[in-house]
């Protein structure tokens, strides 16, 4: 055995192998722990537990590093192309010109929804949360493409991935249009991925919405920066559901549900609410920070803190720059950006945040960019899901290709009642 850890329990000693990743991360391999010692480990929230070995994304939370298949995210900022990064995450390499052309053509060809799917939208109340519609309609997609249930064949998998990545835009746009009582706008095969999405969101019948180059670039980069983040809550959910051999659509629909939570992808909505509260004069930035430091207030500085980053989230830095640049290019002066900058300045000087290593995360600035584009707040987490979908697909496929045959089934420590008898109704107090 190479390097090992020794667990001493009473007189018993258990040697456990230490494994090391390609970036030097080390783990105690406990796969045989229960079989050999009868013991399990306990780690609520999995802050100390690795669920898998993965080759997709590397994060160094102490040094603020994020790489997709080894490429630092900063290198995607120049001419950002979400479709290219989606291919990289799923298939492990940057696409050749021919691979890119074929994939982009598939995305264009697959943008429509079956006309019968449109009736589902009409069944939702206009007030329905778009994330509820998104998860429901991704699952509903599988009803129209049963041939994609079985994805052993790589070619079938590639087609299913293209279908999902293309159609998630159409579902998102239709959810938005339905909520506003607007007619659905069909995808335009002449448009590329992001402009086509914005066209479906904002065009009117006979009045085509034109995508400003700065907006197209900004949204491509927003989607890229959300595309994967190793074993976050929603990606772990996709892997968990996929481990039961559930199909790709069901697994990604589950990922949407996990992402919806305000502590995860829903935080970008909470950040805007927080900034608008301060802008509305209810609270000053200083008062809000004071509340966020008071555990009893139940208030958190939304968009701050991260389980992994104990330094700046590199995505937050990049998104802050995108926000500044886009607002300047559009000639917009959004007071919420100044409030965000003020909150960041106050918090980064406050021992409460410094001592807990709480920095802005990906959600702190993203909403300001989406707001500048005209995307409503209740669609922010949907945009996060569109970005994160290639990462979910990549992890689902990596698990399916690996020894992912084992269903994920954590253990527990039972702390309930000891054995006791059933009591007939008449004898109960
Ligand atoms: C995402 O995992 C990923 O990779 C996620 C993500 C991705 O790309 O998939 O990066 C996307 O989900 C980003 C995070 C978005 N959520 C928020 O912005 C919500 C606000 N942030 C927090 O709720 C919190 O920081 C979490 C949920 C992000 C992380 O929670 P942890 O790791 O469980 O940390 P914790 O709750 O144990 O906090 C440690 C301490 C506590 O104080 P003490 O008990 O030590 O006194 O820090 C405090 C917390 O109260 N704290 C905060 C805070 N975040 C943590 N206090 C005020 N404001 C905050 N935002």
Please, which residues bridge with residue 148 across strands? Answer: none
With contact defined as beta carbons under 8 Å apart, do 364 and 322 qualify? no
Ligand 1 neighbour 229 (Cβ under 6 A): yes
Q: Which tokens go with 1?
A: 């055995």
Find the catalytic residue in 306, 313, 350, 395. Answer: 306
* H-helix or E-strand spanning residue 344: helix 335-347
Residue with tokens 């995508």: 211
Respond yes or no: is residue 229 known to be catalytic.
Answer: no
pTM for the predicted model, two decimal places: 0.95
Q: Is 17:27 a contact under the CB 8 Å cutoff?
A: no
Structure tokens at 333: 């002066």
User: How many whole angstroms from its chain centre is CA 55?
Assistant: 18
Q: Which residues pair with 20 in a beta bridge?
A: 26
Q: What per-residue confidence (pLDDT) applies to 2?
A: 82
Q: Is there a contact between 429 and 273 (Cβ–Cβ < 8 Å)?
A: no
CB of residue 264 inside a 6 A radius of ligand 1: yes
Sole residue written with tokens 């807990």: 356
**Helix axes of 82-91 and 193-202: crossing angle, nearest 10 degrees:** 120
Nearest atom in ligand 1 to the alpha carbon of residue 303 is 18
User: Candidates 47, 58, 262, 305: which one to mutate for ligand 1, based on the most atoms within 8 Å of Cβ?
Assistant: 305
Listed as ranges, residues in the chain with pLDDT below 70 are 1, 403-405
13 is catalytic: no
What does the pLDDT look like over 304-345, one tens digit per residue? 999 999 988 999 999 999 999 999 999 999 999 999 999 999
State whether the beta carbon of 69 lies less than 6 angstroms from ligand 1.
no
- CA 79 vs CA 55, 71, 256, 349: distances in Å: 25, 15, 28, 35
């Amino acid at each position: 055995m190479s390097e090992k850890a020794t667990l001493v329990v009473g007189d018993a000693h258990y040697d456990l192998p230490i494994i090391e990743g390609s970036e030097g991360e080390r783990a105690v391999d406990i796969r045989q722990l229960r079989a050999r010692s009868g013991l399990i480990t306990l780690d609520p929230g999995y802050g100390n537990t690795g669920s898998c070995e993965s080759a997709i994304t590397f994060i160094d939370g102490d040094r603020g590093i994020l790489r997709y298949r080894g490429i630092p995210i900063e290198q995607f900022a120049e001419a950002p192309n979400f479709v290219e990064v989606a291919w990289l995450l799923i298939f492990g390499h940057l696409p050749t010109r021919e691979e890119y052309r074929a994939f982009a053509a598939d995305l264009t060809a697959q943008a429509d929804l079956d006309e019968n799917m449109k009736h589902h939208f009409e069944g939702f109340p206009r007030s329905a949360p778009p994330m509820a519609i998104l998860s429901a309609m991704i699952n509903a997609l599988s009803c129209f493409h049963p041939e994609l249930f079985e994805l052993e064949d790589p070619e079938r998998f590639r087609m299913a991935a293209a279908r999902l990545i293309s159609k998630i835009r159409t579902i998102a746009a239709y959810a938005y249009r339905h909520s506003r009582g607007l007619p659905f706008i069909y995808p335009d095969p002449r448009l590329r991925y992001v402009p086509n999405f914005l066209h479906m969101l904002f065009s009117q019948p006979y009045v085509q919405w034109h995508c400003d180059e700065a907006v197209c670039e900004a949204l491509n980069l927003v989607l890229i920066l959300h595309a994967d983040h190793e074993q976050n809550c929603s990606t772990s959910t996709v892997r968990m559901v996929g481990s039961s051999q559930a199909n790709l659509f069901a697994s990604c629909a589950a990922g949407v549900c996990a992402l919806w939570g305000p502590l995860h992808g829903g935080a970008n909505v909470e950040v805007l609410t927080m900034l608008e509260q301060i802008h509305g004069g209810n609270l000053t930035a200083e008062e809000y920070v004071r509340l966020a430091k008071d555990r009893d207030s139940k208030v958190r500085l939304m968009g701050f803190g991260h389980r992994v980053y104990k330094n700046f989230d590199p995505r937050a830095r990049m998104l802050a720059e995108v926000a500044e640049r886009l607002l300047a290019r559009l000639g917009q002066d959004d007071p919420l950006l100044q409030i965000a900058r003020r909150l960041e300045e106050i918090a980064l000087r406050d021992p409460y945040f410094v001592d807990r290593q709480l920095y802005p995360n990906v959600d702190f600035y993203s909403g300001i960019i989406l707001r500048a584009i005209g995307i409503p707040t209740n669609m922010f987490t949907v945009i996060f899901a569109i970005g994160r979908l290639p990462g979910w697909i990549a992890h689902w496929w990596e698990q399916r290709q690996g020894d992912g045959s084992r269903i994920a089934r954590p253990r527990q420590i039972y702390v309930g009642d000891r054995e006791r008898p059933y009591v007939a109704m008449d004898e109960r107090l």
